[in-house]
């Protein structure tokens, strides 16, 4: 049956809901149309930009009637800037949409008919919450400026007056570096032409320690005006660490090796009473107060009694590992990024935690080795990257048959896919799911899931009934041997 819409066609549509990723969902004669910049309740005029077999995509050209949850965005750059796409949606509606997206992902992609959803934890603050910002340089009539990519553009950066999800400190540092850049005469890197020098500014804060770290990223060549840059940043008492990184390639990345220009190599942050050292490339949740709420949910779900062996997969710099260590017998973390493992070891020493160990390696490749060394786990915590568990990592986790799993997810669609395997072939029951809103005004949502192994459906029980080896049953979970993606904590 042909689609009832054609590319370029103008439609009048009523937006019913939000899809994962943030586009509005409307229907034309039952046919789904995803509308960019459409919010629930809106009556819009939209132009179709793409038609597929089961759906179409469109762009809102006119708002005919605003929905009841539409509000005036605070940021003057809203719509032009590529971030904070939900500033025009009341926060209560944002949270409701995120919960719905988690529930529907589990139903549709995870084959979980009635997900055991719990009330979501709303953000403590919906503005000024980010502890890490990465700005890009751009050339304006007034000279260099710092901002973010324009919506939908990889080659054009929008200079901004201020970012409303950043703190006053970060906005002030950005303005000061902008003024320094204008005084130096240094050129701005052009992403399309691949010429120029000034590329990025990274600022990260320890919100609970009052410390800040700054990284300037440039192209190759001597940093003219470095003394003036250091002097400019020393005016901020929060700044304890100033770095310079050189990106010799064309890709827009800030995770490059850095040289310390002034101060300490790191800053520190405190989360739930534990201290963590943060270097330029270390991963930490970008909303400090909600990271504490997220870890408190993980602690609650873990329900440790003090005698357990815990595995923390994709452990990053050890935040979850260290949080659980005081409540367990031993905790073992696995992380593929060796620098993160070094930070985790350092953080364990910093906090005087001795019942903890870390493995550097690919989860799918070293999990068997860890089991031989540490014994079988009583609990496994997984906090994978946005892509979820890679094939081998998922298969090894399923074969491990830990009595309980706490899964911390930043992507409900990949969580759902992994739970389909774990709650299907691997014999687990999903007991609890709790969304945590780390990122107001964006489509992103974290959630924590608790799984418990069902003895009657475990791989051992399946193997016994079928008269085959457990390992043969475990290997059927997936045939994908692709390596795991770099993890996060």
Q: What is the average pLDDT across 432-449?
A: 96
Domain boundary at 18, 41, 65, which?
A: 65
Do 452 and 310 sit in the same domain of this protein?
A: yes
Please give the tally of structural domains in the chain: 3
CA distance 78 to 449: 34
Do 315 and 413 sit in the same domain of this protein?
A: yes
Q: Is residue 151 part of a domain?
A: yes
Reduced 3-state DSSP string for 347-410: HHHHCCCCCEEEEECCHHHHHHHHHHHHCCCCEEEECCCCCCCCHHHHHHHHHHCCCEEEEEEC
Do 25 and 172 sit in the same domain of this protein?
A: no
Q: Is residue 378 part of a domain?
A: yes
Do 341 and 242 sit in the same domain of this protein?
A: no
pLDDT of residue 481 exceeding 90, the answer is no
Tell me, what's the pLDDT at 261? 98
What is the set of active-site residues?
A: 410
CB neighbours of residue 195 within 10 Å: 11
CA distance 83 to 116: 31
What pLDDT, in 10s, does the model give residues 91-132? 999 999 999 999 999 999 999 999 999 999 999 999 999 999
Look up the CATH number of the domain holding residue 31: 2.40.50.140
pLDDT of residue 486 exceeding 60, the answer is no
pLDDT of residue 331 exceeding 90, the answer is yes
Q: Is residue 58 part of a domain?
A: yes
Tell me, what's the pLDDT at 82? 86
* Angle between helical axes of 412-422 and 391-400 (0-180°, round to 10): 40
Q: What is the average pLDDT across 268-286?
A: 95
Do 248 and 325 sit in the same domain of this protein?
A: no
Do 267 and 235 sit in the same domain of this protein?
A: yes
Do 246 and 204 sit in the same domain of this protein?
A: yes
Do 341 and 260 sit in the same domain of this protein?
A: no
Do 254 and 320 sit in the same domain of this protein?
A: no
Q: Is residue 444 part of a domain?
A: yes
Tell me, what's the pLDDT at 469? 59
What pLDDT, in 10s, does the model give residues 124-177? 999 999 999 999 999 999 999 999 999 888 889 999 999 999 999 999 999 999
Tell me, what's the pLDDT at 480? 44
What pLDDT, in 10s, does the model give residues 207-231? 999 999 999 999 999 999 999 999 9
Look up the CATH number of the domain holding residue 206: 2.40.50.1070
Do 353 and 222 sit in the same domain of this protein?
A: no
Do 305 and 445 sit in the same domain of this protein?
A: yes
| Reported pTM | 0.91
In angstroms, the Cα distances linking 15 to 45, 91, 483 are 11, 18, 40
Provide the mean pLDDT of the chain.
Answer: 93
Tell me, what's the pLDDT at 274? 98
Percent of residues, the chain, with pLDDT higher than 70: 96
Tell me, what's the pLDDT at 466? 78
Domain boundary at 271, 300, 335, which?
A: 271
Domain that holds residue 236: 132-271
Do 349 and 465 sit in the same domain of this protein?
A: yes
Q: Which residues contact 175 (CB under 8 A, 6 or more apart)?
A: none
pLDDT of residue 484 exceeding 60, the answer is no
């Amino acid at each position: 049956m042909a689609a009832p819409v054609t590319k370029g066609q103008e439609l009048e549509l009523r937006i019913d809901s939000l899809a994962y990723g943030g586009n509005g969902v409307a229907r034309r004669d039952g046919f789904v149309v995803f509308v960019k910049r459409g919010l629930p309740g809106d009556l819009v005029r939209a132009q179709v930009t793409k038609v597929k077999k089961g759906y179409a995509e469109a762009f809102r050209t006119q708002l005919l009637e605003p929905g009841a949850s539409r509000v005036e965005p605070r940021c003057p750059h809203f719509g032009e800037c590529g971030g904070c796409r939900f500033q025009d949606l009341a926060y209560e509606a944002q949270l409701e949409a995120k919960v719905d997206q988690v529930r529907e992902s589990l139903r549709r992609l995870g084959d979980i008919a009635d997900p055991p959803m719990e009330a979501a934890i709303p953000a403590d603050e919906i503005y000024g919450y980010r502890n890490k910002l990465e700005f890009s340089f751009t050339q304006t009539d007034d000279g260099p400026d710092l901002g973010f990519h324009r919506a939908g553009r990889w080659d054009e950066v929008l200079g901004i007056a201020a970012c409303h999800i950043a703190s006053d400190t970060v906005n002030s540092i950005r303005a000061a570096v902008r003024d320094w850049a204008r005084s130096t005469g240094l050129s701005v890197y052009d992403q399309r032409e691949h010429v120029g020098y000034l590329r990025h500014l990274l600022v990260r804060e320890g919100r609970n320690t009052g410390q800040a770290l700054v990284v300037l990223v440039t192209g190759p060549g001597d940093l003219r005006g470095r003394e003036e840059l250091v002097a400019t940043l020393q005016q901020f008492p929060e700044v304890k660490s100033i770095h310079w990184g050189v990106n010799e390639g064309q890709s827009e990345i800030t995770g490059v090796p850095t040289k310390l220009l002034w101060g300490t190599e790191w800053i520190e942050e405190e989360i739930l009473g534990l201290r963590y050292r943060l270097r330029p490339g270390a991963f930490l949740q970008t909303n400090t107060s909600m990271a504490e709420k997220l870890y408190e949910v993980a602690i609650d779900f873990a329900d440790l009694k003090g005698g357990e062996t815990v595995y923390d997969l994709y452990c990053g710099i050890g935040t979850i590992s260290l949080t659980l260590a005081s409540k367990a017998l031993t905790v073992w973390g696995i992380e593929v990024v060796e620098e993160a493992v070094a930070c985790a070891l350092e953080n364990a020493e910093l906090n005087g935690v001795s019942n903890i160990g870390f493995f550097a390696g690919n989860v799918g490749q070293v999990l068997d080795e860890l089991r031989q060394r540490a014994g079988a786990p009583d609990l496994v915590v997984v906090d994978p990257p946005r892509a979820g568990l890679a094939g081998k990592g998922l298969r090894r986790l399923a074969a491990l048959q830990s009595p309980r799993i706490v899964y911390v997810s930043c992507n409900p669609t990949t969580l759902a896919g992994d739970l389909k395997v774990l709650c299907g072939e691997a014999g687990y029951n999903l007991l609890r799911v709790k969304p945590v809103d780390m990122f107001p005004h964006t489509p992103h949502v974290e959630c924590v899931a608790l799984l418990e192994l069902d003895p009657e459906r475990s791989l051992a029980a399946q193997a016994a009934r079928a008269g085959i080896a457990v390992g043969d049953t475990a290997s059927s979970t997936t045939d994908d041997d692709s390596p795991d993606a770099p993890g996060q904590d």
